[in-house]
Amino acid sequence: MMTSQLFRQRRERLLEQMPDKALAIIPAASEVTRSRDTEYPFRQASDYWYLTGFNEPDGLLVLVKEGETGKSLLFNLPKDPEMETWTGIRLGQEKAPEVLGVDQAFPLQQIDEQLSDLLGEASEVWLPLDNLALYQNYLNWRQGVRRKRKRSACLPDRLVDVASALAEMRLIKSDEEIALMQKAVDISAAGHFRAMKASRPGAYEYQLQAELEHEFAIQGAAAPAYASIVGSGANACVLHYIANQDALKAGDLVLIDAGAEYQGYAGDITRTFPVDGHFTEAQKQLYELVLKANEEAIRQAGPGTTLEALHQSVLRVLTQGLLELGILQGELETLLEAEAYKPYFMHGTSHWLGLDVHDVGIYRIEGSARPLQPGMVFTIEPGLYFPPDCEEVDPKWRGLGIRIEDDVLITKQGCKVLSDQVPKTVAGIESLMRGADAAA
């Protein structure tokens, strides 16, 4: 469970990186209109959530460095009984320091006046440089300083991207974050179990989506962490297929890529399984090749290795397997150099996972792949895809799309697969789908 003390510690860690009199400005998300007077479900900006744990829209967190320490100022929506009747109780300013651990809270309407004053004393400003709306506000606040102080105005001339500093902080997960991520993955896993058990010829992709997202909701997830992918048959060859509208057919595979969001943290699991609970021989051959690549990358994952090295191991396993199946012809090293696998495996093997499903954090440092460290969480997700119009391969492979994705935590000893409770062997999947105890 996250406490206000933990969020305070994160703010202090950011302040430690800032020079004296620097100012950091981190915005909340705003509600987005869906149509006329209805909004999309609100989802808080990840950096703002990371530093505050506060889920109201339209706020602004300001950190002011003062010597060796600093203070945190919150600008948030004021109490408004009429609006609260429609949209829910607001925290307001009086209770914010106690509940959130900030030093002071001000009504959002005071932001222009307060920021103009604070900028007049700042040595430099840290803000997310890709937030154009905030940057325009920053320029307006600078003008406010000039209007107030005229010739005596002294404005900071250095901008720093606060998002980069926060990305580095967010990349290494704390024990509290790992516990929440495990919960998000556990809920995601339960959804996958339920969808597998509900699969049958004649059902629809959207019905499997409903099964897994129902399980997410009843287990306390706020929402899916991203648009659920339920692709049966050739739809599994579309990497981001989200129409989820077709009927399931006997003899087809179905690929589900879905995860739950729990207290801001994302799960991200992919499993591919037969609609009717039994792999055909061709499906089994391709599936076990993808599984071999998944397991080899997991075997190699640990402190000091890199995501690039894991990706290369996946490419080697898949290319060797495609050679053995007769889908590719030639010498292994020549095929790897020519990227002959790419028509059938066109995406990366891994991405960071955390508050965002494709989480922040740089992948390369000074041109070299970043070594993995304990506390990093990422996916391992090899796949193979043969669309129906893939005429260069034997017809038995056409229309098959397979991906196996696990969520992996780097530990001091090696790695932990957070999603290993979801079966992924042929025997384990077939056992689960016929109602027996599933083997991993």
Residue of 170, 341, 385, 407 with catalytic role: 385
| CB contact set of 196 (below 8 Å; sequence gap of 6+) | 271, 273, 429, 432, 433
37 is known as an active-site residue:
yes
Phi, psi at 135, each rounded to 5° = -60, -40
**CB atoms < 10 A from the CB of 169, how many?**
17
Q: Are 398 and 287 in contact (CB under 8 A)?
A: no
Q: Are 15 and 70 in contact (CB under 8 A)?
A: yes
Residue of 146, 347, 364, 434 with catalytic role: 347
Enclosing H/E stretch for 368: strand 368-369
Task: List C-alpha distances in Å: 226 to 131, 229, 267, 300.
Answer: 22, 9, 9, 28
| CB contact set of 310 (below 8 Å; sequence gap of 6+) | 297, 300, 301, 349, 350, 380
Q: Are 191 and 212 in contact (CB under 8 A)?
A: yes
Q: Are 266 and 353 in contact (CB under 8 A)?
A: yes
268 is known as an active-site residue:
yes
Residue of 8, 142, 271, 403 with catalytic role: 403
385 is known as an active-site residue:
yes
Residue of 186, 257, 356, 430 with catalytic role: 257
Tokens of 242: 């989200």
Residue of 405, 406, 407, 430 with catalytic role: 405
Distance CA 305, CA 310 (A): 8
Distance CA 103, CA 84 (A): 25
Beta-sheet strand order (sheet of 265-266): 223-224, 260-262, 265-266
94 is known as an active-site residue:
no
Q: Are 393 and 325 in contact (CB under 8 A)?
A: no
117 is known as an active-site residue:
no
Residue of 34, 158, 299, 358 with catalytic role: 358
276 is known as an active-site residue:
no
Enclosing H/E stretch for 262: strand 260-262
Residue of 68, 151, 175, 240 with catalytic role: 240
Q: Are 412 and 374 in contact (CB under 8 A)?
A: yes
Long-range pairs for 141-149: beta carbons < 8 A, 24 or more residues apart: 141/112, 141/115, 141/116, 144/112, 144/113, 144/115, 144/116, 144/119, 145/116, 145/117, 145/119, 145/120, 148/116, 148/117, 148/120, 149/120
Residue of 351, 406, 407, 430 with catalytic role: 351
Residues labelled as active-site residues: 37, 240, 257, 268, 347, 351, 358, 381, 385, 403, 405
